[in-house]
Structure 1
Amino acid sequence: MARIGRRGRLWLRSFHIFFMVLWIGAVVSQVVILMFSSLAKSGGALQAFNAAPQILNILTGPGCLGTIVTGILLCWLTPWGFFKHKWIIYTMVVVILDIGVAQIFGEPVVNKMAALAEAEGLSALQNPEYVSAWNRLVILTIVTSLLLISALFVSVMKPWRKRKEVEAAE
């Protein structure tokens, strides 16, 4: 297995942290913008609020991809490995879940809300279909934000022992 030196590992970890912060920052920004969208005073403002998550994908995509690539490199090029530690397994599962949930459930809702806001303007806020989509998206973005933040904390705190240590203790 290939290995990387101390300086290379520090650079790689720094880039990994940068991309994770970019990703989490964009997702948390989406939550904040979504919360304030109900305060829109005009149809144009509502359209802008609904366009914001799509614009923030400019940050979310590279943040997500950079996190995945640097995470894979860290697992491959360091003694941590891919499945040696439970915290790595947890973060991999969270990242896969987050991407899947956002793509399968989040993206269609964002597109639907944007289309309704464009077609109906400010009156979309009284449309039950829009309100239902807004509620789903609020819950979804809060859950995905909390999942990503939990992955960040688990990556830093490393709360669990190695898998082999646990298996040996049992």
Structure 2
Amino acid sequence: MKKAGPAGLKWLKIAHILLISLFFGGIMSSLALNYGLSLAVYTDTLSTYKHLVEISDLIVRTGAIGTLLLAFIYGFFTNWGFFRHRWLAVKWILFILQTLNGIFIVDKLMMANMALLEAEGSAALSNAVFIQNHSIRQYAVIIQIAITIFIIIISVWKPWKKKKLHKKGAVIN
């Protein structure tokens, strides 16, 4: 399979940075909206939850799916591969965990609360399930942010990288 050249790698890196910016910006916005919500006024809460859904659907999901597709392009069309380096394998595992957290906790709780708001109106704000969902979702978003920051750190530092050994002028991997 033909590998990407230097110019192709630069375009891949640009696309990767833009997609990660979408993803990370979306989850940071979600956290800010979640923390800024007092759950005291129904119309404000409903409006905020509608915005959370839009951010999730349009920004976070676009960044996540785009990043996943780009990861496959990196894996197939560059020398990086998928699991050639331990730090890459850790990034894949963390990305999968983060995606599962987003789908099965963050989005599920957000949609459950949206349904409660629409079904119960202002009574949802005092519903124990609604309040618990809101709180758990907040912590799950913080976990997503922590994982994203750790993935960025791994991407820059590339820990667990094989050390090159120098022996009489030759480089040995």
TM-score by length of 2: 0.85
SS in 1 for 2:3: coil
Tell me what 2:44 maps to: 45
Cα distance change, pair 40–127 in 1 and its aligned pair in 2 (3 A):
closer
Deviation of 1:103 after TM superposition, in Å, equals 1.3
- 1:34-63, Cα deviation, whole Å (9 max, x unpaired): 1112x2553111101111221002111211
Tell me what 2:6 maps to: 6
- 1:136-170, Cα deviation, whole Å (9 max, x unpaired): 1011111012112211221122122139x9xxxxx
More helix, by proportion = 1
Tell which deviates more after alignment, 22-31 or 117-126. Answer: 117-126
Q: CA RMSD in A?
A: 2.0
- In the alignment, structure 2 segments of 5+ residues that lack a partner are 166-173
Which letter maps to 2:141?
Answer: T
- 1:65-123, Cα deviation, whole Å (9 max, x unpaired): 11111122122222211111111111111111111122122222111111222334444
Alpha-carbon distance in 1 for matches of 2:41, 2:116: 14
Alpha-carbon distance in 1 for matches of 2:53, 2:159: 35
Which letter maps to 2:143?
Answer: V
Alpha-carbon distance in 2 for matches of 1:146, 1:2: 36
Alpha-carbon distance in 1 for matches of 2:20, 2:160: 21
Alpha-carbon distance in 2 for matches of 1:162, 1:124: 54
SS in 2 for 1:124: helix
Tell me what 2:169 maps to: none
Residue 29 (1) aligns with residue 29 (2): yes
Tell me what 2:82 maps to: 82
- In the alignment, structure 1 segments of 5+ residues that lack a partner are 166-170
**Structure with more contact order per residue of length (Cα contacts < 8 Å, sep ≥ 6):** 1
Alpha-carbon distance in 2 for matches of 1:78, 1:42: 52
Map 1:1-170; keep pairs closer than 5 Å: 1-37=1-37, 39-40=38-39, 42-56=41-55, 57-162=57-162
Cα distance change, pair 162–122 in 1 and its aligned pair in 2 (3 A):
farther
Alpha-carbon distance in 2 for matches of 1:129, 1:61: 26
Alpha-carbon distance in 2 for matches of 1:52, 1:94: 27
Alpha-carbon distance in 1 for matches of 2:74, 2:35: 36
- Residue-pair matches, total: 164
Which letter maps to 2:52?
Answer: P
